[in-house]
Amino acid sequence: MSKGTNGKAEIANGNGVPILKAHPDLQARLTTLADDFKSRFQEEPEFFVRVPGRVNLIGEHVDYCGYSVCPMAIEQDILLAVASSKEANLRLINFDPKYPDFQWDFRAVRQWTKTGNGAPLWHEYFLCGVKGAMEVIPEGHLPTGVLVNLSGNIPPGSGLSSSSALVSAAALATMHISKCQLSKESMANLTAKAERYIGTEGGGMDQAIAFLGKQGSAKLIEFNPLRATDVTLPESAVFVIAHSLASHNKASTDDYNLRVAECRMAAQVIAKKRSCQWEYVKKLSDVQKQIGKNLEEMSAVAMEELHEEPYTFEEICNILETTQEHMKTASLTTTFSTSQNFKLQQRALHVFQEAARVQVFRDTCEEKKGNETEKLRCLGSLMSKSHASLRQLYECSHPNVDALVDDAVSCGALGARLTGAGWGGCVVAITTEDKAREFMEALENKFYKHRKHENTEIKDLLFVTQPNQGAAIYTV
């Protein structure tokens, strides 16, 4: 956003985040949040922000390689009640008492950086969003201080993107209170960058669907440039989300960033072996463009140019004819021990094959003619293949998730897969309208009956989901 324009040119075509009137169910939640806001801050909120979580139907761990994904926004969300304040602070409270209150000099958020290892504190996700927004807001537009009350019902650490909904909501609230506006695409790019301040090198899928989600339609999200196209799901398809009862905070371990680094180095090794300039290659999609082959051919290239045994860092440096110091800046943006092994062939194969599955999934959904039963079978089969690949080639599953996927299929699902980054979290299964109830009862008996879930009701662990509206602002 150029200084002084408030992004007006960019949103002239009506592509800004909408300001909506809440429907009755949402209104009831906003009223509860506003009442809590008043009793805690002795002030009225000026507006509300809602950002949904998402479920990714297919295209896992490919966004940071430059390939398209197919998510939809879900009903669960992060809600904020927001007001400006005369005190020069950001005061942040959470409707859920397990998340402690937080206060910080508002303008100092510009200079904030995350410190410490392990799982981030909840308010650090919020600071990522505020900082990201402050980078584009002219100084004079910022209010003196801000009061925020947050309420969320996306299960955290479960692959439904609670973190990105939180970061995106914080950025959107900061923009709106500063009377600045950007297009949904620019907000998605801004928040994807902002969430990286938490320490994970995300690819941008979550923030894209958080802003570009649409009621009634899944989306094909393409990157560079960011573009979202409707994907019309077959009428009789029902998508069910099931929680594996294992949660995982993505920023608490190196697992995610290691996969990003492995993909980058796989791309660079392929580039070098194919006599391309590997220094310009950051993503597997970059090397595909340089070589000029299709995805199927790229799988064959990965098999030919990469070996199955894990690579040592030293071996990669030797292949690329470079020093370890140079490689650390060229490929390992986060620091790993140089004694770490890297599985380049397996990761690259997953990415090329998963990217191809996304194309077939989208084409199957968009096919005008064709038998509905066949379409559904095809989508189910693609989802199950995706899971097998995440489990074996990408090694980002979890024993609970694998058991849940197997149980879902044995209870009649046409296919099932882990959704989100993995290492725990949720599964998404495809079934049909006429079988959905029977399927969910069977899965409840098979998976949940003999496992402990005292603090969570089954309806919050196993539920049908439909494509939902993306981020919006609600007036009081």
Chain residues that interact with ligand NG1, rule: CB under 6 A = 60-61, 63-64, 159, 161, 163-164, 195, 200, 202-203, 205-206, 250, 420-421
Q: Select the residue whose beta carbon is closest to ligand NG1 and give its number.
A: 202
- CA R_g for the chain: 22
Assess contact for 357 and 386: CB atoms under 8 A: yes
Cβ of residue 167: shortest distance to ligand NG1, in angstroms?
A: 8
Q: Work out whether 64 is an interface residue with ligand ADP (CB under 6 A).
A: no
Tokens of 332: 């390992």
In 274-371, which ranges are continuous DSSP H helix? Answer: 284-291, 295-305, 313-319, 324-330, 344-366
Distance from C-alpha of 276 to C-alpha of 428, rounded to nearest angstrom: 39
Nearer to Mg ion, 119 or 303 (CB): 119
What are the angstrom distances between the C-alpha of 433 and each of 41, 176, 235, 411? 46, 40, 9, 15
Cβ of residue 164: shortest distance to Mg ion, in angstroms?
A: 6
Distance from C-alpha of 286 to C-alpha of 220, rounded to nearest angstrom: 20
- Counting beta carbons within 10 angstroms of the beta carbon of residue 12, is it exposed (0 to 12), middle (13 to 18) or buried (19 or more)? exposed
Strand residues in 127-259 grouped as ranges (E): 145-152, 218-222, 227-231, 237-243
Phi, psi values for residue 250, rounded to 5°:
-65, -30
Nearer to ligand NG1, 202 or 380 (CB): 202
SS3 string, 403-432, reads HHHHHHHHCCCCEEEECCCCCCCEEEEEEE
Contact flags string 402-441 toward ligand ADP, x per CB under 6 A = ------------------x---------------------
Residue 94 interacts with, from ligand ADP, ligand NG1, Mg ion, none (CB under 5-8 Å by kind)? ligand ADP
Q: Of 341, 345, 265, 342, whose CA–CA distance to 307 is shortest?
A: 345
Residues with catalytic annotation? 206
Q: Work out whether 336 is an interface residue with ligand ADP (CB under 6 A).
A: no
Cβ of residue 29: shortest distance to ligand ADP, in angstroms?
A: 13
Q: Work out whether 122 is an interface residue with ligand ADP (CB under 6 A).
A: yes
Q: Select the residue whose beta carbon is closest to ligand ADP and give its number.
A: 152
**Contacting ligand ADP within 138-157 (CB under 6 A):** 150, 152, 154, 156-157
Cβ of residue 189: shortest distance to ligand NG1, in angstroms?
A: 13
Residue 166 interacts with, from Mg ion, ligand NG1, ligand ADP, none (CB under 5-8 Å by kind)? ligand ADP
Q: Work out whether 163 is an interface residue with Mg ion (CB under 5 A).
A: yes
Q: Work out whether 234 is an interface residue with ligand ADP (CB under 6 A).
A: no
Instruction: By CB under 6 A, name the one of 11, 29, 47, 99 that touches ligand ADP.
Output: 99
What's the chain's length in residues?
A: 476
Cβ of residue 308: shortest distance to Mg ion, in angstroms?
A: 31
Q: Work out whether 191 is an interface residue with ligand ADP (CB under 6 A).
A: no
Q: Work out whether 163 is an interface residue with ligand ADP (CB under 6 A).
A: yes
Looking at beta carbons, which pairs linking 337-340 to residues 24 or more positions away fall under 8 Å?
338/313, 338/314, 339/312, 339/313, 340/258, 340/313
Distance from C-alpha of 35 to C-alpha of 429, rounded to nearest angstrom: 38
Residue 203 interacts with, from Mg ion, ligand NG1, ligand ADP, none (CB under 5-8 Å by kind)? ligand NG1
Which H or E element spans position 473?
strand 472-475
Cβ of residue 398: shortest distance to Mg ion, in angstroms?
A: 16
Residues that bind Mg ion (CB under 5 A): 163
